[in-house]
Amino acid sequence: MPGTGASHDRLSRLAAHAFISFPEVQPSLVRSNPIGRLTITAA
């Protein structure tokens, strides 16, 4: 799927920023967002 690399990179940065800014939100985001779970695993 062309273009997913850049999109995933952007999502990864946004996810990392959100988790740093709002650590208390992280568990619920991970449970409801498989992409977030993959981002954390890959980090």
How confident is the model over 1-43, as pLDDT tens digits?
455 666 778 888 887 776 666 656 556 656 666 665 556 555 5
* Whether the Cβ atoms of residue 15 and residue 36 lie closer than 8 Å to each other: yes
In the block, tokens 């999109």 appear at 7
* Whether the Cβ atoms of residue 40 and residue 30 lie closer than 8 Å to each other: yes
Phi–psi pair at 6, nearest 5 degrees: -65, -40
Distance CA 13, CA 33 (A): 15
Please, what is the angle between helix 4-21 and helix 34-42, to 10°?
A: 90
Our count of domains for the chain comes to: 1
Residue 12 belongs to what domain range? 4-42
